[in-house]
């Protein structure tokens, strides 16, 4: 499974061969520091003076490396999620990573340096990305009640059913509740739509899309 690079990110990564071997190592260090602590313009300026390279070149190289490393790690996370759902797919192996950057036309030595940078830091990168993902509430339990209005002041004979649900959620070790109300027809329609979506997930066409998503 290959990582697709946009024209902008290809251009940013294209400065790496011009920067030289020593600069690539420094740019890799700056990219990892940016992932850990955020953008550091002063660090880029210091590196530019040290390496005698333009600040724009340094910043573009760092941005390109950050994208390459994070998107490769996201692709790995997507594959793991697909596997847990029962849809089998390949890991983003060393060959996949090299094939992804092969389109850049880098030298074999530079490709090996980028590969090693990814392999040495992919666990930490996935850990950092995991901390940035918002923690969504998880399901705990559900209570429901069916109410039927048989008459009102304006209509003495009527049947007006309503389903009231109390959804209990876990969030940040606390429990919250949401009260929802709908009519049976709408609830049945939602159930049918969800069942249809689950059924489409098992189709070959949808599986191919999931296997190639980033």
Task: Report the pLDDT value the prediction gives residue 134, as an integer from 0 to 100.
Answer: 66
Residue 86 scores a pLDDT above 60 = no
In contact, 63 and 5? CB cutoff 8 Å: no
Q: What is the 3-state secondary structure (H, E, C) of 147-202?
A: EEECCCCCCCCCCEEEEEEEEEEEECCEEEEEEEEECHHHHHHHHHHHHHHHHHHC
Contacts 24+ apart (CB under 8 A), 161-167: 163/187, 166/142, 167/139, 167/142
Asked whether 169 and 175 are in contact (CB, 8 A), the reply is yes
Q: pLDDT band at 189, cuts 50/70/90?
A: very high
Q: CA 30 from chain center: how many Å?
A: 22
pTM of this prediction exceeds 0.85: no
Give the span between the Cα atoms of 65 and 93, in whole angstroms. 18
Predicted confidence at residue 101, as pLDDT, reads 79
SS3 letters across 79-122: HHHHHHCCCCCCCCCHHHHHHHHHCCCCCHHHHHHHHHHHHHHH
Give residue 79's pLDDT band: very low, low, confident or very high (50, 70, 90).
Answer: very low
Q: State pLDDT tens for residues 37-46.
A: 888 888 889 9
In eight-state DSSP terms, residue 15 is: T
Q: Is the pLDDT of residue 211 over 60?
A: no
Residue of higher predicted confidence among 121 and 153: 121
Residue 24 contacts residue 18 (beta carbons within 8 Å): no
Express each pLDDT in 99-111 by its tens digit: 777 778 888 888 8
Q: Classify each residue of 89-100 as buried b or exposed e, where b means 16 or more C-beta atoms within 10 Å of its C-beta.
A: beebeeebbbeb
Q: Which of 112, 128, 127 is nearest to 25 (CA)?
A: 112
- Cα(177)–Cα(135) distance, integer angstroms: 17
Chain segment 153-173, per-residue pLDDT in tens: 776 777 789 999 999 998 877
């Amino acid at each position: 499974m290959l990582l697709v690079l946009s024209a902008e990110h290809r251009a940013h990564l294209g400065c790496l061969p011009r920067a030289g071997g020593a600069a690539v190592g420094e740019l890799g260090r700056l990219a990892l520091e940016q992932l850990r602590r955020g953008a550091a313009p002063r660090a880029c300026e210091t590196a530019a003076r040290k390496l005698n390279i333009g600040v724009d070149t340094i910043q573009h190289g760092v941005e390109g490396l950050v994208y390459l490393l994070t998107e490769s790690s996201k692709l790995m996370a997507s594959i793991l999620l697909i596997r847990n759902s029962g849809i089998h797919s390949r890991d983003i192996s060393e060959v996949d990573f090299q094939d992804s950057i092969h389109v850049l036309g880098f030298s074999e030595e530079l490709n090996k340096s980028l590969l090693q940078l990814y392999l040495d830091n992919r666990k930490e990168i996935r850990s950092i990305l995991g901390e940035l993902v918002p923690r969504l509430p998880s399901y705990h339990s559900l209570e429901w009640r069916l109410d039927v209005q048989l008459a009102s002041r304006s209509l003495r004979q009527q049947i007006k059913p309503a389903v009231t649900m109390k959804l209990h959620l876990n969030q940040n070790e606390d429990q919250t509740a949401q009260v929802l109300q709908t009519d049976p027809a709408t609830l049945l329609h939602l159930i049918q739509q969800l069942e249809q979506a689950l059924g489409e997930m098992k189709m070959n066409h949808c599986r191919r899309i999931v296997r190639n998503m980033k």
